[in-house]
Chains A and B, each alone.
Chain A
């Protein structure tokens, strides 16, 4: 590749997740009992982050992804402090992982402040340690045998934050929203609660703060207010309902189209593509920020 490989935290997590499968050629083979768990940390008001935890009997490892949006103080101060509460050093190894491009940016800082910590770097076609190494030599061996193709990594986990490099982390979220609406549409439902759809579309929903949940709901509502008239005329529309005069409004998506008619179904599929295009263009970012510490 001509340019330095770059990716966001979700992509790093996804690559690590792909290392926990049933085949032998991976770092943490599932058939040998390795388990993975995704963790979501809210250490400051501004910066939620993901981490991934691998475990097998006594062996434990925690990986913390770093992308270009991770601020410097966060890296050297906040993360180690917060992580120490849940994952003390004697529990297992903590590894930081980043992409080729970001590694270049943080190298200096690492040399001065973080040199004790291991830093693994994901390139387009390989993975290497820039600082430190695996405590367990077995992983070093497995790493040397691992075939890496970063661009083909399965995107199972979406990004959690607003600091997304491609500016399109919002699209997979809307893809899932449409996926859920499609199910309702095809199975003949006439109306669905927008709030419920948004909840189901986010895999992190139960872990989010109330404030963030509200923010996301509001953002999706605004998008749909725009989309209904622009792309989905005659197919779906929003409707407001209130139980009582003074209560909070509920927003329903009313499904009006008939997907049994082939033309209408195809029209709807196209409209969905256009809607995603508009969302991409608008590049709205759903900001997630927690103000509580835990």
Chain B
């Protein structure tokens, strides 16, 4: 079943479309509205998970109200929440719908003017209970393959001068029809450093509308067929569900004791990734993960455990989330202690992809 099956009619209603009509002509009447979707990981405090869904989500929304003054209204089932914001003349500036029905992934749909939506998302991102899902370069490229025309690409790689002898920078954006042909060229020419962070393109429905995806878990569209937008949303949602389900099932480290044979079962495997550009000065990289400095704000300690491997234990200063890493010159391993470590892992993945080298699983 599509994960957006119940979300779709709600969005159609919000936009003002009649779901009974067969044809979706939404792209004819964009009405100055932009559509935004932000995917996020539910990073609720541990104790919230002991409650039932309605209480859990209600508490989370109350936190948002206390922290940011944004008051969502939760429906009876505790699965969808709505929020409206209007200007001084009473016209809506933002209409928002939050889908909390999935166990781990949340979705925020926003309709309104782009700058209002961006501001709104920016505000919500400061919440510790929401972690924006990370779309890595590979993921964005896979989506790009489904586009009819690629209109714009943004790529960003700026190697840390402190970790490499000859730091490389490969940053830029390409607009227009040339973007589509440049994308594979850039990829082939710079396989280790090309890091796609944003992509715009037209879907194959003929509506000529543009849809954009950004690495911080955002889908954004102006005038396009709403059904195509929701179709892509559904596809991304399914991919994310699979990804996080697998992480939660296979990679959360837990210890089970059995006193009978004095035995310990270690559940959860480390996640291993290769770094395409081996690190020259590993001490400086380790500092990024332990010294409480920008941009990661991680505090902790490290120890060289073999000739080639360093064990790092880090805590995020802003949230208290924890993760254990094993770092070699050309590889990194993530040992997740709880579901909260997933968001921290993604933050580190993003940092490495932007500042160290391409990650290969």
A contact set with B: CB distance below 8 Å: 11, 17, 21-22, 30, 35-42, 53, 86, 149-157, 168, 171-172, 175-176, 178-179, 182-183, 185-187, 203-204, 206-207, 259-260, 262, 265-266, 268-270, 272-273, 276, 294
Contact = CB atoms under 8 A, between A and B. Distances in A.
Contacts of A204: 264
A174 B302 CA distance: 11
B257, B265, B320 pick with most chain A CB within 10 angstroms: B320
Interface stretch (B155-163, B215-223, B285-293): B285-293
A153 B305 CA distance: 10
A155, A171, A262 pick with most chain B CB within 10 angstroms: A155
B299 A207 contact: no
Contact of B264 (A37, A266, A269): A37
Contact of A265 (B257, B317, B331): B317
Interface in B240-294: 250, 253, 255, 257-259, 261-266, 269-270, 272, 290-293
Interface string B306-327: 1111010101110110101010
Nearest to B257: A206
B70 to A, nearest CB: 24
Contacts of B266: 17, 36, 38, 156-157
Interface in B7-23: none
B144 to A, nearest CB: 28
B305 A172 contact: yes
A276 B303 contact: yes
17 contacts: A39-B264, A150-B306, A151-B306, A153-B309, A155-B306, A155-B311, A172-B311, A175-B301, A175-B311, A178-B300, A179-B313, A207-B257, A207-B262, A259-B292, A260-B317, A265-B299, A266-B291
A269 B326 contact: no
B97 interface: no
A196 B263 CA distance: 22
A138 B309 CA distance: 31
Given A153-B306, A156-B270, A38 B265 contact: yes
Contacts of B335: 154, 156
Contacts of A155: 305-306, 309, 311, 326
A41 B315 contact: no
Contacts of B309: 151-153, 155
Contacts of A154: 270, 272, 326, 333, 335
Contacts of A268: 292, 299
Contacts of A269: 290-292, 299-301
Nearest to B292: A265
Contacts of B326: 154-155
Contacts of A153: 306, 309
A259 B303 contact: no
A172 B291 CA distance: 18
Contacts of A175: 301-303, 311, 313
Interface in B99-119: none
A268 B292 CA distance: 9
B328 interface: yes
A178 to B, nearest CB: 5
A41, A152, A204, A270 pick with most chain B CB within 10 angstroms: A152
The 9 closest A-B pairs by CB, nearest first: A151-B308, A265-B292, A179-B313, A187-B320, A182-B315, A186-B320, A38-B264, A39-B263, A155-B305
B261 A272 contact: no
A42 B272 CA distance: 34
Contacts of B303: 168, 171-172, 175, 276
Nearest to A186: B320
A15 to B, nearest CB: 11
A169 B86 CA distance: 61
Interface string B332-352: 010100000000000000000
Contacts of B316: 186
A292 to B, nearest CB: 12
Given A39-B263, A42-B262, A151-B308, A179 B300 contact: yes
Contacts of A273: 290, 301-302
Given A37-B265, A40-B263, 11 more contacts: A22-B250, A151-B309, A152-B328, A153-B309, A156-B253, A185-B315, A265-B317, A269-B291, A269-B300, A273-B301, A276-B301
B299 A259 contact: yes
A156 B301 CA distance: 16
B72 to A, nearest CB: 26
